Amino acid sequence: MAAVALPMESNPDTMNKYLQKLGVPDKWRMVDVIGLEGEALSWVPRPVLAIVLLFPLSDAYERHRAEQEIELQSKTPEVPKDVFHLKQVLSNVCGTIALVHSVANNTHQIELSDGLLKRYLNDAQGLDAAAKGVLLENTAAILDAYKDIIRSASHDVVDAEEPVNNHFVTFVHKDGHLYELDGRKSFPIDHGPTTPDTLLEDTAKVCREFIKRDPDNIGFNIVALVPSQ
């Protein structure tokens, strides 16, 4: 039987507990990005390995995604082989996928402990994005690890059957380019040149475009994977 996923909160404390349970050492952690302009970005510890954006699944966004998907399917973009991208199979699993994307694309810097995520990444080697998604669906222990954290916390559990109208995507640097990794898209999205030093600032520009499509919506939140201080 396929696993059932609980929707994830965009909460660094919860995410960090989950990452550590998956085998990410505590020298790396998620932190809030409180703004998308200069001074707020300067407060984020460096280096930034990945940025995760939570945003509302509005009609405006869905129109944009549909147009983008048609364009992607028509030209099949070239993506570096070391970009780890997986397709979303289950409902409510986009938060876990965002964290997997964040870590899997930075294993040259993150020394994973033997455990759930390291085993998944080893098993996923050589698979395409769809097969990676099915493998995650069948790796119930990864999804159960998040449930354990939520159920041991002092707040209410969001039911897996409740409709969720938000979505997580991840931004990473690979081979001099900024990639958006979204389990609902066929390919990683290349947003142009970036560097490890400018990843956060360049991602902030893309995040502002997301917000511009839904200027009246307040359902945006951003966290970054950074070194622990």
Active site residues: 94, 167
The number of residues making up the chain comes to 229
Dihedral angle of Cα 60, 64, 70, 75, to the nearest 10 degrees: 180
Calpha distance 63→69 (Å, rounded)? 10
Q: In terms of DSSP H, where are the helices of 138-198? A: 140-152
Sign, Cα dihedral of 39, 44, 45, 51: negative
Write the single-letter amino acid at 116: L
Return left, alpha or beta for 139; rule: phi > 0 is left, psi -120 to 50 is alpha, else beta: beta
